[in-house]
Structure 1
Amino acid sequence: MSVVDTEPTTRRQRAARLLTEVFSPAHLAIVLPPVVGARADGLSGFAYGCLAALFTGVIPYAFLLRAVRSGRVGDRHVRQRSQRFLPLGFGVLSVITGLALLVLLEDAPCDLLALVMAMLTGLLVTVAITAVWQISIHTGVAAGTVVILTLTLGWLTVFAWPLVVATGWARVVLRDHTIAQVTAGAGVGALVAGLVFVTVR
């Protein structure tokens, strides 16, 4: 039985597992839209952000949990690359649906629309890369989150970058990714999020 199949037994592994769980892509995809929405347009923006979070995080995560229970996916962090296409594909459809709904409602903040577009683009890029290589989605989403927060909340948010590094460290410690995979994930996530968000907003 491999390390990834057993409960973490050392303090280092327990810390890595905690970081992996707390800063999972699903959690960040749920928390970020309401923050960006509220920053853009107060309470109304927060409400739109919660609606966006339903499609960017809640529904895709619920689908993933159902896929795990049914045995179609081995675990919540989808360690096997071949199993990633099902939850990623569903995630793409869910985010597209949410984006279309926000556009139809017309009053959603531009920053929120830009965020969801950045999330969608990030998902599509991840699917393309996953076809040939197991890039780290954890560090990609974490890095993209920090970039978006920096662009919306201000430069003090750059001090959140150590959390991206810590997330990458955790993925390597748990042997779910190599250093190259977590580094590439962070780079791609930051680049895609920044370029799309700035262009669309």
Structure 2
Amino acid sequence: MLRNETRPTNNPAFRAAVVASHVLTPVVLATLFIISSPVRNASVSWAQALVAALFTTIIPWCVLLYAKLRGVVSDLHVTQRQQRHWLYAVTAGSIIAGLLVLRLMDSGRAIYGEVGSILLGLAVVALVNIWWKVSVHLAVGTFVALQFGSGNPGLHPLIICFIALLSWARIKSNEHTASQVCGGVFIGVLVYYASLAMASLLA
């Protein structure tokens, strides 16, 4: 078991790790990634980005919040692996609905690639989650960091530092083991390169 019965709540490092985990959640990072699409790609409009974010992260987050209030999940990070399956299914359904709405808006291919990469990452994490609890924080965090640093080698040291910080936060807060964190990083890298291939096919 990873979640200890007694946690060092008075430890400054532990508290900092918990704060970092809350601030750098997958929903925050994925929302920033989608919302910033018009900045990174001029062919994406702000309306398209907002609709994409609504269906990709905001609606699933509202469902999660409702589930937490009803006691369906133990916490907003859904640290209990067996509680994640239905949420992955709901999120996938919401993303697919968002793609249909974007189609009705006659959106360009770029936003499909952005949303499609999130859907791909969700599918990979959900598949792995059947057998093993992997860090979704690191999967999403690594993918988003690589996307923001794409084509800019000068940002590589910052990307490494960001991934290291998030890894430390998840391990220090006793939410994941080192192997689960490394698994998340691996998935993030895998989805990043898959998204590059997807973008080339949609170009």
Q: Give the alignment's TM-score, normalised by structure 1.
A: 0.89
Question: What secondary structure does 1:76 align onto?
Answer: coil
Which amino acid in structure 2 is aligned with residue 154 of structure 1? Answer: N
| Identity across the alignment (%) | 27
State the 1:79 CA deviation: 0.9
Match of 2:54 in 1: 54
Residue 46 to residue 161, structure 1, CA distance change in 2 (3 Å): farther
Question: What secondary structure does 1:77 align onto?
Answer: coil
State the 1:65 CA deviation: 0.7
Q: Is the CA contact 2:149–2:159 (under 8 Å) kept in the aligned structure 1?
A: no
Distance 2:75 2:196 in 1: 31
Question: What secondary structure does 2:29 align onto?
Answer: helix
State the 1:98 CA deviation: 1.1
Residue 112 to residue 155, structure 1, CA distance change in 2 (3 Å): farther
- Whether 2:94 is the aligned partner of 1:94: answer yes
Match of 1:75 in 2: 75
Q: Is the CA contact 1:143–1:161 (under 8 Å) kept in the aligned structure 2?
A: no
Match of 1:143 in 2: 142
State the 1:63 CA deviation: 0.6
Match of 1:180 in 2: 179
Structure 2 gaps, min length 5: none
Distance 2:33 2:5 in 1: 29
Aligned residue pairs, count: 197
Question: What secondary structure does 2:134 align onto?
Answer: coil
Match of 1:38 in 2: 39
Match of 1:155 in 2: 153
Residue 5 to residue 33, structure 1, CA distance change in 2 (3 Å): farther
Q: Is the CA contact 2:52–2:102 (under 8 Å) kept in the aligned structure 1?
A: yes
Deviations 1:114-154 (A, max 9, x none): 11101001101111100000000000000010122223x73
Question: What secondary structure does 1:41 align onto?
Answer: coil
- Whether 2:117 is the aligned partner of 1:118: answer yes
Deviations 1:27-56 (A, max 9, x none): 0121111212332127x6233112111111
Distance 1:26 1:7 in 2: 26
Q: Which moved more, 1:168-177 or 1:73-82?
A: 168-177
Greater helix proportion? 1
Distance 1:7 1:59 in 2: 34
Match of 1:168 in 2: 167
CA RMSD of aligned residues (A): 2.0
Structure 1 gaps, min length 5: none
